[in-house]
Amino acid sequence: MDTLALRPTPRRPIWVMRQAGRYLPEYRALRKRHAFKEMVETPALAVEVTLQPMRRYGLDAAIIFSDILVLLAALGVSYEIVEDKGPVLARSIRTAEDFESLSHEPVTDSLGYVYETLSILRKELPPEVALLGFAGAPWTLASYAIEGGNSKGGFSAIRVLLDSDPALFGKIMDRITDGVIDHLQAQLANGADAVQLFDSWAGMLNEADFRRAALPYLKRIAVELEPGPVIFFPKGASQWLTKEEVDQFKILGVDGSQSLGFYREKFGQDFVLQGNLDPAILITDMQTIRTEARAVLDSHGSQPGHIFNLGHGITPDVPPDHMKALVAAVHEHTFKETT
């Protein structure tokens, strides 16, 4: 938490997106006995999966094992995770009638299992280890809701709705944004030290469309959740932000399309950066992992305000020992900087 306050730390903190999950053999063993949604919705199982990488690696933050689609389920759009296909929603939201059929109950009424998991984790984890909650950003969640799951056609349905019926698009985005705010606030109230907002599909937009279709809702969340803390991760779109917008967000997660040095030069020092090693590096070899990790650290420099992470989620084919090498490289290298 010192890093989030821009205070010096004895080493650079590290966690990685999707650190709790399918690259770990202990997760795969558990997954053979339990369905994905069962694991997400059962606090004892979600706690176990969250803690698995913490036991192995000594990471500086734990992120709750959950899914961004739990929020859509709370709005009345159920989902399933289909092997080798990804998320499939029971229905799509494309018309005014579809929108009216969404639940009007508070999303927090349906998501108690998330908050119970966080409460248990906060008691299980050492106080110096940060606990992170998360949610999908409105644009990304709307993309799934309108498409009905993963899109094979470049998210054409949401693009059509954005231009053909902007009023309905705005209603859908407002309803989702309300739910995101409530869900993140509840996570912060139930043990999360910070929360991350995943806008995983922001980069499918051009800059102009990002500014009209995604950014206004991100800004609203930043205002409503002040002081947070909230880590904003608009994958593929961070480079379009202005200094004023970054100052509003305060904590910015970035992918690997630009160096950390690029963001520091563009935006200055008075905000926290998170990122941004290419996840593919973890499939290479130990020496490459160490070299590339140091390059990310050097790109940022030794000043406070950096959380080491990947540019996106860890992939299932990463050998667990490679993740161990990454954590060691980050901790050892940054420890030397401060001694």
pTM: 0.95
Domains and CATH numbers, the chain: 3-337 (3.20.20.210)
How far apart CA 49 and CA 212 sit, in angstroms, is 38
CA dihedral 106, 108, 109, 112 (to 10 degrees): 170
Query: Which bin fits 250, alpha (ψ -120 to 50), beta or left (φ > 0)?
Result: left
Q: H-type helices in 42-111, by residue range?
A: 43-57, 70-74, 96-100
pLDDT in tens, 244-298: 999 999 999 999 999 999 999 999 999 999 999 999 999 999 999 999 999 999 9
Active site residues: 18, 22, 31, 67, 144
Low-confidence ranges of the chain (pLDDT < 50): none
Tokens of 113: 């299992």
pLDDT in tens, 317-334: 999 999 999 999 999 987
The answer to whether 126 and 94 are in contact (CB under 8 A) is no
